[in-house]
Amino acid sequence: MTLQVGDPAPDFSLADADGNTVSLAELKGNRVVLYFYPRDNTPGCTKEACAFRDNYEAYQAKDVVVLGVSADDAKSHQKFINKHDLPFPLLVDEEAKVATAYGSYGLKKFMGKEYMGISRSTFVIGPDGNLEKIYRKVKAEKHPVELLTELDEL
């Protein structure tokens, strides 16, 4: 089953880089940008994370919670956060259970090889806990800026 705009966002509880549990249920009442990315410290993922960082104040001004999710462990997330001064939590989804629930985990192809992994995608979850926007195959660098303008339309 593919998630659609208007569907309830799949609930989750994941640890952040510091070991604190972040749960969607506790964020109810807030608009949440949940973005899935393949790996810490890779070129595209770094561009995307830094674009969210560079526009973070604008997201905060709109009362939006930004959360990044990958299958990397907490230690990897901590290095990524420290290296690029990221102001928002990165969540650990090592078994890709949350990515799978959001349809963001599956077969990928790169340079002739096939493997299972997280695909770059973003979900905007409304204060009511329902999906307001779904972005698949996003452009890492431009997406966080384009998303900001689209949030005004919600």
Kindly list the catalytic residues: 45
- Rounded to whole angstroms, the maximal C-alpha distance in the chain is 44
Burial 25-59 (b: 16+ CB within 10 A, else e): eebeeebbbbbbbbbbeeeebbbbbbbbbeebeeb
What is the rounded distance in angstroms from the CA atom of residue 10 to the CA atom of residue 22? 14
